[in-house]
Amino acid sequence: MDVFMTGQVNERLLNSVLINLSRSFLQYLSESSPWVRGEAVSAGHTLEQLAADQREDVRDLAEFLDRREWAVDFGSFPTEYTDQQFLSLTSLMAGLIHSQEGQLASIADASQTLSRASDAEAVSVLDAVRTREADILTGLKRLQAALQPATA
């Protein structure tokens, strides 16, 4: 495989990570405004902040791909998310955390692939994204713990 083709494979992989983040369950929930109890309204604000943090990772990946002159595709939300309408945030937290763990695994796999392809610049970008996405997972776990008393 020549260098040009290797680059296209790398950019396609990076764009796949971008799609996964831009159309993640977290992003879907931030747009669908899940229900929260009155005393847990701050949980909704926390969810919005975590989603905004993730959108920054999407922006960083899009800018990186743009610098490489790649036509960025932002994808679309999976249809199975539409079954998650009109539910409480508390009932969605386990799925949200599981989804975020999947995001981290996907990013780690992509980083390993790019490392094997000797694309140090892309690995560096993904490592920064992975660190921030791990922080989002920590935030989601804190949010889940904070919501527990609200359901009692």
**Which parts of the chain fold into alpha helices (H)?**
3-22, 25-32, 41-67, 89-116, 120-151
Task: Supply the pTM of this predicted model.
Answer: 0.88
Q: Domains in the chain: how many in total? A: 1
Q: What is the CATH number of the domain that holds 115?
A: 1.20.1260.10
Rounded Cα–Cα distance for residues 73 and 125 (Å): 18
Which residue range(s) make up the domain with 55?
3-151
Quick one: what percent of the chain has pLDDT higher than 70?
86
> Which residue, chain included where needed, has tokens 């943090």?
53
Model confidence over 29-83: pLDDT tens digits?
Answer: 988 876 666 666 788 889 999 999 999 999 999 999 999 999 999 999 998 888 7
